[in-house]
């Protein structure tokens, strides 16, 4: 017998529960978010690319503006498709900064001179500064100032166009004349007849007081000499810078020679040793004194010699060749006029524009 209300009285019927669309909605939302993110990323990348392209275009435009307005007019850069005169110049000169600096073919003398001055200045400042306490504090700084003046005048003299005369590469065989090199002209300068020689290398009739330098392979106006210690011709346009270098170098070596001798004397009185003892304990100062002494004699001789040449208005080449032995010097105007003419007259401009565009040879 079954009890009413028992569990067996009820039959369990299966009920189908509809599946919730939440999972599908979530997947759809993720896919849509992914599409939006990828679209946003692509837009950001495209916009960034456009910005970079725009910035690059502005930078290139600014670079071109700077080159056209400032760099090219002053010869700091040159167009790759343009051949400049210094690039095809037949002489032996070495050019820097696109033809703005003209140097000689051999830099060894210039490097040796520069190193000698720097080493002397360093030696004086490092080893003599400790013994200069009784003197004003400006002793070492003044030596540095002298060193800078010497080096600046040296660089200017060695990198300035000395007065190179343009060549006549278009001269024909008939204009060159006979091969024995006897073709000459004669001119009258202040009542004195001068012979003008013809240069078969440069194919020109050289002006008075000019000479062809075999080292630089150029005809140079008012040629004085080729200085091996500077590595450059000394002539019309850099002669004053050369004199400034020689005079300033003489003052510099006299200065360090005087204070180095004072240091040696003070050390000898303090220690009671002789020169042999100083050579053992202070060889740097003795070496500086010896080098300065030799430089003073050499530079002093140059200053006296060129002072004499200036007073009579001669060049070293003319004096060596005895050009005016049989006749008077037509360029001698008196001592004061000669000094004014050589030292105070404005320097002429260069006759060769090495930065100009080279003309094609015919």
Q: Which residues contact 109 (CB under 8 A, 6 or more apart)?
A: 227, 228, 229, 230, 231
pLDDT at 181: 47
Average confidence (pLDDT) over 19-43: 63
pLDDT of residue 28 exceeding 80: no
Average confidence (pLDDT) over 262-281: 70
Maximum distance among all Cα pairs of the chain, rounded to whole angstroms = 170
* DSSP structure class, residue 326: S
**202: helix, strand or coil:** coil
**Residue 272 confidence class, pLDDT cut points 50, 70, 90:** low
CA atoms 212, 213, 216, 221: torsion sign:
negative
Q: Which of 227, 233, 261, 344 is catalytic?
A: 227
pLDDT of residue 17 exceeding 60: no
In terms of Cα–Cα distance, which of 194, 231, 216 is closest to 112? Answer: 231
**3: helix, strand or coil:** coil
Average confidence (pLDDT) over 310-317: 93
pLDDT of residue 323 exceeding 90: no
For the stretch 274-312, pLDDT in tens is 666 666 666 777 888 889 999 999 999 999 999 999 999
Cα three-residue angle 169-174-180, rounded to 5 degrees: 90
Is 227 designated active site?
A: yes
**Looking at 38-52, 82-96, 101-115, 295-309, which range is the least confident one?**
38-52
**């008077």: which residue's tokens?**
328
Average confidence (pLDDT) over 331-352: 89
**Looking at 18-27, 82-91, 272-281, 348-357, which range is the least confident one?**
18-27
Average confidence (pLDDT) over 29-48: 70
**10: helix, strand or coil:** coil
Average per-residue pLDDT in the chain? 80
């Amino acid at each position: 017998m079954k009890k009413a209300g028992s569990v067996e009285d009820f039959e369990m019927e299966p009920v189908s529960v509809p599946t919730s669309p939440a999972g599908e909605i979530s997947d759809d939302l993720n896919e849509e978010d992914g599409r939006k993110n990828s679209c946003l990323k692509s837009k950001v990348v495209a916009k960034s690319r456009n910005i970079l392209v725009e910035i690059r275009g502005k930078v290139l435009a600014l670079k071109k503006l700077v080159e056209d307005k400032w760099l090219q007019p002053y010869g700091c850069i040159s167009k790759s498709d343009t051949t400049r005169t210094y690039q095809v110049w037949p002489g032996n000169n070495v050019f820097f900064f696109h033809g703005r600096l003209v140097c000689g073919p051999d830099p060894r003398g210039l490097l040796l001179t520069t190193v000698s001055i720097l080493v002397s200045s360093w030696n004086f400042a490092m080893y003599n500064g400790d013994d200069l306490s009784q003197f004003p504090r400006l002793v070492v700084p003044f030596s540095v100032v002298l060193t800078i003046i010497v080096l600046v005048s040296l660089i200017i003299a060695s990198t300035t166009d000395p007065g190179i005369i343009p060549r006549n590469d278009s001269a024909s065989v008939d204009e060159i004349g006979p091969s024995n090199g006897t073709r000459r002209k004669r001119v009258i300068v202040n009542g004195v007849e001068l012979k003008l020689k013809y240069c078969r290398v440069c194919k020109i009739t050289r002006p008075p007081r000019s000479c062809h330098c075999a080292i630089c392979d150029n005809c140079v106006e008012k040629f004085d000499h080729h200085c091996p210690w500077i590595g450059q011709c000394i002539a019309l346009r850099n002669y004053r810078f050369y004199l400034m270098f020689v005079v300033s170098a003489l003052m510099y070596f006299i200065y360090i020679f005087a204070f180095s001798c004072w240091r040696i004397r003070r050390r000898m009185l303090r220690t009671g040793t002789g020169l042999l003892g100083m050579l053992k304990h202070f060889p740097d100062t003795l070496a500086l004194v010896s080098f300065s002494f030799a430089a003073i004699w050499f530079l002093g001789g140059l200053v006296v010699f060129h002072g004499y040449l200036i007073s009579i208005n001669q060049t070293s080449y003319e004096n060596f060749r005895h050009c005016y032995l049989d006749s008077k010097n037509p360029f001698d105007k008196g001592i004061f006029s000669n000094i004014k003419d050589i030292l105070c007259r404005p320097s002429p401009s260069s006759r060769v524009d090495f930065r100009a565009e080279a003309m094609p040879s015919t």
